[in-house]
Amino acid sequence: MSRIGSGLIALSAFVLAPVSPALAQKAVGKEKVASILTWTQKQQLERYPAIEKVYQVATIKKGTTVHELPAGKPIDPKVSLKGKTQDFDSFMKQWRISGVIVVKDGKVVMEKYGMGRTPDQRWTSFSVAKSMTSTLIGAAVKDQYIRSIYDPITRYIPELQGTAYDGVSLRQVMTMTSGVKWSEDYADPKSDVSLSGTEPYNGRINPLIQYMSKLKRDVPAGSKFVYNTGETDLAGIALSRALAGKSIADYASEKIWAPYGMEQDALWMVDKAGHERGGCCMSMTLRDYARIGLFMLGGGKAGGKDVLPAGWVEEATTNQAPKGSPGRYGFFWWPVDPPNYQARGIFGQGIAIYPEEKLVIAMNSAMVKATDPKQSEATLAMLAAIRGALGAAD
């Protein structure tokens, strides 16, 4: 079997894996905003590129220089799916993809936009933000804001003392192996992922901490992988506490956005308490999504300096899920066929990184459903077409 073919088999489990919806955010106005999971197709097109008009956000400021992305030899892949072959533009239109960029050996070999989107428009990321949260935790470890990822989560969030999170490490939260009982059923209004966003803010305790403190233990910590959106936000809160007054957005600007040379400010949605969501919803341009991939591909260097501890990228993007788990998971990154890995968000957002091929593929979409087997199959076919076109061009 070809390398690409074997990779697609491994990737299929990843694409179908659950990814988080947005928990309750802090709306811009006083009117309630319908769940982001229920937005109409028209609302998606209006709001995904302008999330700051709907929800309150923090700004990740760019620097004074831009990491240039020169043009390379262009490719024009055709996508084959269930016996039908389409040109790429038609494929994007069918699957409501607003942008795809392919960077090979540091050069842009394809950059396409659809649905009326322009290159300077941002697009929301959903769970792609999780991967950035774990990366910033890595930076905080190197900067000694965080002593160790083996620290108990209660060291940074003492409000969780005496709860099911006693004895759970930050690392176990980052790998979603806390052992705390959690339901991530988006269709069930009584699931944890639904109820955790309804907790009121009393002006003192972050509503998410309030909810998570009520959860019960299911299995011993470290023994079971359970996809848990709430824990990604806990990780973000822990990071914020560790930074001792510096916001996560400011830290992201200091460590990555400015020194790496992102082209635009990015936005990060905040929760009811005004805290950047560790688990959701950064907004940036398509090219800046690609630059995140390049940052990781380069081992986590920005401005000529190591942002992350030695070996962090490899560990974060390697499977850390216990044996027998349904799928693979790293530190908020999804390992695919080693050494390849991805960041992934609902409704068709993603960054795919192929270290041995020196390849980054980033995409944004407004797909019809949050997760769906047909959409996943289409994404697989698109990635295969791109990699196949690159192979033919070599």
Distance CA 193, CA 197 (A): 7
Q: How many Cβ atoms sit within 10 Å of the Cβ of residue 124?
A: 30
Strands 97-104 vs 84-87: parallel, antiparallel or unpaired: unpaired
Question: For residue 1, what pLDDT band results from cuts at 50, 70 and 90?
Answer: very low
Distance CA 102, CA 350 (A): 12
Query: What residues contact 112, with CB distance under 8 A and at least 6 apart?
Result: 88, 89, 92, 99, 100, 101
Determine contact, residues 9/322, Cβ cutoff 8 Å: no
Query: What residues contact 63, with CB distance under 8 A and at least 6 apart?
Result: 253, 257, 258, 259, 261, 262
Determine contact, residues 228/218, Cβ cutoff 8 Å: no
Question: For residue 4, what pLDDT band results from cuts at 50, 70 and 90?
Answer: very low
Question: For residue 24, what pLDDT band results from cuts at 50, 70 and 90?
Answer: low
- pLDDT per residue as tens digits for the range 72-94: 999 999 999 999 999 999 999 99
Four-residue CA torsion sign, 146, 248, 291, 385 = positive
- pLDDT per residue as tens digits for the range 91-132: 999 999 999 999 999 999 999 999 999 999 999 999 999 999
284 beta partners: 123
**What is the identity of the amino acid at 173?**
V
Distance CA 304, CA 361 (A): 23
Find the helix or strand (DSSP H, E) in which 343 lies.
Answer: strand 341-345
Distances (CA, A) of 343 to 92, 263, 316, 340: 20, 20, 12, 11
Residue 62 has pLDDT above 50, yes or no: yes
Write down the mean pLDDT value for the chain: 91
Distance CA 98, CA 87 (A): 15
pLDDT value at position 265? 98
Compute the CA torsion angle 366, 372, 378, 379 (nearest 10 deg).
70
Find the helix or strand (DSSP H, E) in which 84 lies.
Answer: strand 84-87
Residue 20 has pLDDT above 80, yes or no: no
pTM score of the predicted model:
0.92
Q: What are the sequence ranges of the domains in the chain? A: 3-393
In the chain, the percentage of residues whose pLDDT exceeds 70 is: 93
Tell me: domain 3-393, CATH 3.40.710.10, correct? yes
- Measured at the CA of 176, the angle between CA 321 and CA 24, to 5 degrees, comes to 150
Question: For residue 51, what pLDDT band results from cuts at 50, 70 and 90?
Answer: very high
pLDDT value at position 113? 98
* Alpha carbon distance, N-terminus to C-terminus of the chain: 20
